Amino acid sequence: MFGWWTTGALSAWLSSVLPLGIDVVIEPSARLILAAAAFAVVSTICFAVGPAWSLSRPDLVSDLTGARGFSRASARSARLKTRVPTGSLLVVGQVAVSLALVAAGGLFMRAAINAAGIDPGFAVDRHLVVAMDPSLAGYAPPRTRAIYHDVLARVRSLPGVEHASLGSIVPFGEFREGRAVRLKREDDGVGADFTIVGADYFDTMGLHLLRGRTFTAAEEEAGSTAKVAVIDRQLARRVFADADPLGRQLLVQPREGEALEPFNIVGVVSEMKHDLFDLEPKPHLLRVNTATCFERS
């Protein structure tokens, strides 16, 4: 009951210090309560059988010894000391498990506090993430594109909204998509997180533009076939080292067995993290959401 009551406070505190939302839903269940009560009764009986059985067994040696001058109480105490050695083992085991739980809880809290102070590479304040997938409702690709366009227009017109954009994957989300990126066909390639975004994505996320430019509204318009991409500094270092990546072409492997897609690099942004406990940022490649992008995403 105490754990149930404190879950809300704990999740609220974690949401205030971690750059992601935490939603813990706990509902009372009569079956779980009955199961817990049954386990408690069974465990009590099981742990009580051993000492009860030991105390109920007669000890002729102790009785004979008691007849020679020892009291029955002394014999009974000696019998307990010699016949119940498992008590000390149970105490040691309980202390060990308790210390392990306390240590695990302390490590989790320390990791959470450290993660709260790490810069993920993008803004985390005053943001709202909304997931939608019109294809789940059976809408055709043209209708899906129209819904995305209408939703963005309506959200951007709301009072207090500074920026709004689309993204196939969001940092700290449940999903991620990786692609192999290479300069030449014979290269081994570098693994990078692949994200389809809107033209206003970088301003919405607060990503810092280091070189070049971001995507334009014309490139975002339906029917655009522009094969342009923005990479982060981590991918630029791994692929181009100290060379200038602007205007260069990258080959991206869409999926297994599909032909390589060429992309012209138009900009370089700062690093970003996708997972909470990433030791270092991973490479990212972002492309603009053209007419067919979200149909395949």
178-182/249-253 β-pairing: antiparallel
Shared domain for 73 and 146, answered yes or no, is: no
Shared domain for 187 and 270, answered yes or no, is: yes
Q: pLDDT tens, 82-121?
A: 454 566 787 888 999 999 999 998 888 887 777 666 666 6
Question: Which residues partner with 261 through β-bridges?
Answer: 252
pLDDT higher than 80, residue 210: yes
Number of domains comprising the chain: 2
Asked if residue 242 is part of any domain, the answer here is yes
Asked if residue 106 is part of any domain, the answer here is no
Asked if residue 123 is part of any domain, the answer here is no
Shared domain for 77 and 159, answered yes or no, is: no
Q: E strands within the chain?
A: 178-182, 190-197, 209-212, 228-232, 249-253, 261-269, 284-288
Range of the domain at 238: 134-296
Shared domain for 177 and 50, answered yes or no, is: no
Reduced to 3 states, what is the DSSP secondary structure of residue 231? strand
Asked if residue 278 is part of any domain, the answer here is yes
Shared domain for 65 and 140, answered yes or no, is: no
Q: pLDDT tens, 168-192?
A: 887 777 777 888 888 887 777 788 8
Asked if residue 221 is part of any domain, the answer here is yes
Distances (CA, A) of 177 to 7, 172, 197, 254: 32, 13, 13, 10
Asked if residue 104 is part of any domain, the answer here is no
Residue 296 confidence class, pLDDT cut points 50, 70, 90: very low
C-alpha span between 224 and 91 (Å, rounded): 71
Cβ neighbours, 10 Å, residue 221: 14
190-197/209-212 β-pairing: unpaired
C-alpha span between 75 and 65 (Å, rounded): 8
Asked if residue 121 is part of any domain, the answer here is no
Shared domain for 163 and 281, answered yes or no, is: yes
Looking at the chain, how many residues does it have? 297
pLDDT higher than 90, residue 39: yes
Shared domain for 79 and 142, answered yes or no, is: no
Number of H helices, E strands in the chain: 10, 7
Asked if residue 50 is part of any domain, the answer here is yes
